[in-house]
Each structure stands twice: as structure tokens, then as C-alpha cells.
Amino acid sequence: MATTDLSVYDKGTIPNSKNFRFGIVVSEWNRDITQGLFQGAFDTFLDCGVLKENIVRWDVPGSFELIYGCKKMQQSYDMLDAVIAIGSVIQGQTKHFDFVCDGVTQGIKDLNVQSDIPVIFCVLTDNTMQQAIDRSGGQHGNKGVEAAVAAIKMAQLRKDATF
């Protein structure tokens, strides 16, 4: 189990983000967790120089719907430099957890293969609610922070790779 604080990053290694535009698609399921992840990503964007008006948020009902939400966001905002998919799936007593986690993972992978706008995977797949709390602003920091940093770096990669 990772014990690293996900909220620690070195601003010196982060590209200038002032002109980047980001989308964030947030699952409403496990809202306390996903709101914490969103807040971590949003605050990190602002801390790294992203303008507030350059951040678009859409909500979707659950983690499985993140795929469609991200796809439609890519299509609706062609000026976005990256999109973050934020969700939280917590193990229950049925195989539903496995199907949702696999579907979301594969769906977001497919979006990255099919589109020029990177989609960052920020979906917690935890065994317990406490694990999700610990990774969405608790003792292990905030995975949303890590996702925002990854989005900035991927936006820069996308910009550098454009001829």
C-alpha cells in the first residue's frame, strides 16, 4: 500500500500553465470523495497559474458515465488541453465493483487512443470508504492534486508534439 502524500509536487517542474484550458468531469457517486478530489485538482490548477475561467466542470451520475462525459467534453470544447475524469468506486459485496472499474479504465484508455485531448484517470478504486477518504484529502493527501499535475504535463506534451 502506498503511503506517499499525493499532494506534494515541485512547482519548478511544472510547465507554465497560464494559457492552458482544462475540463474536469466529476462523478456524483460518492460525492464527498469526488468533491474532495475535484477541489484538490481545482486548487492545484490555480496554484500552478491556470486561470479560473479556463477550467470547465461537468458532473455525471456515476463513474461509468465518466467515459461518455469526457468524450462529449472533448467534442464540445476543442480548445481544451486536457480533461480529468474524477470518480470513486468502493468495493461492495458483488462483482459490480470489478465490472465498473474495468469498464471505466478501458473506456478512458480508449479515449486517450482515439482523441488528441488527453484524459487523466483520477478514479479511486478502493476496498473501503476509509481508503477513499485517505486519498481524497486525508492522510495520504489528494489524488486530485496528482491528476492536475499530470494534466498540466500532458497538456505541455500535447503542445510540444504539435507541429
Of all residues in the chain, what percent carry a pLDDT higher than 70?
A: 95
pTM: 0.93
Per-residue pLDDT at 6: 58
Q: Is 83 helix (H, G, I), strand (E, B) or coil?
A: strand
Average pLDDT for 125-152: 95
* Mean residue pLDDT across the chain: 93
Return the higher-pLDDT residue of 94 and 122. Answer: 122
User: Which residues, at least 6 apart from 11, have a Cβ–Cβ distance to it below 8 Å?
Assistant: 47, 48
Strands (E) across the chain are located at 22-27, 55-60, 82-90, 119-126, 136-138, 141-142
Asked whether the beta carbons of 56 and 77 are under 8 A apart, the reply is: yes
Does 135 score more than 50 pLDDT? yes
Per-residue pLDDT at 94: 82
Reported as a pLDDT band with limits 50, 70 and 90, residue 1 is: very low
Per-residue pLDDT at 4: 60
Asked whether the beta carbons of 4 and 142 are under 8 A apart, the reply is: no
User: Which residues, at least 6 apart from 24, have a Cβ–Cβ distance to it below 8 Å?
Assistant: 38, 41, 42, 55, 56, 57, 58, 83, 84, 86
Q: What is the CA radius of gyration of the chain?
A: 15
Average pLDDT for 39-46: 98
Per-residue pLDDT at 77: 86
Average pLDDT for 55-70: 98
So which residues are the catalytic ones?
Answer: 96
User: Which residues, at least 6 apart from 79, have a Cβ–Cβ distance to it below 8 Å?
Assistant: 21
